[in-house]
Structure 1
Amino acid sequence: MKLTHQSAGFTLIELLIVIAIILILIAIALPNFLSAQIRAKVTRAEADLRSLATAIEFFRTEHAHYPVGTDNSSS
């Protein structure tokens, strides 16, 4: 009587290949993700600056002068 034993698991080579593929995909995706984060931060900063400029101009139209501390003079 011959017993045959077949395991249902993965071999070490198969696991290493899967890990290598995952690492390659991460290496491709990570720079894109990081640059997207930087672009999002820059866009948010630009929007914040536009909002601040609008608020300062609104203050000037309401009070006939800019808020204290917004000019570059050293007086």
Structure 2
Amino acid sequence: MAATASKKAQKNKKKDANGKFLHGVKVELKKVIWPTKKELINYTVMVIVATIVVMAIIAVSDGVFAQLFRLLRIVVG
């Protein structure tokens, strides 16, 4: 009998903890300053452009190193 009461008490504690957590999440989300549509579009474009630039830098350096290693393999044998 005591075991079932203990299990129910633990279950209620978990529900209370989950409820408090979700309430805390809701309170914190109200504090967030959400970007406007224009800001969101600008940030998205900046991320895409930055990604393309980094991709190009990596592609160029990969090509240069591939040529250097190919040349090194020819020279060394």
TM range (shorter): 0.5 to 0.7
**Cα RMSD (Å):** 2.0
* Structure of higher RCO (CA pairs closer than 8 Å, 6+ residues apart): 1
Where does structure 1 lack aligned partners over 5 or more consecutive residues? 1-17, 64-75
The amino acid across from 2:54 in the alignment is A
Confirm or deny that 1:25 pairs with 2:39: yes
Of the three residues 44, 60, 75, the one matched with 2:58 is 44
C-alpha deviation, 1:38, in angstroms: 0.5
After TM superposition, where is structure 1 displaced by more than 6 Å over at least 4 residues in a row? none
TM-score by length of 2: 0.52
The amino acid across from 2:52 in the alignment is I
Name the structure where helix makes up a greater proportion of residues. 2
What is the aligned length?
Answer: 46
Deviation string for 1:14-44 (max 9, x for gaps)?
Answer: xxxx76x532210111111101100100100
In 2: Cα distance, 1:46 partner to 1:23 partner: 35
TM-score by length of 1: 0.53
Confirm or deny that 1:34 pairs with 2:45: no
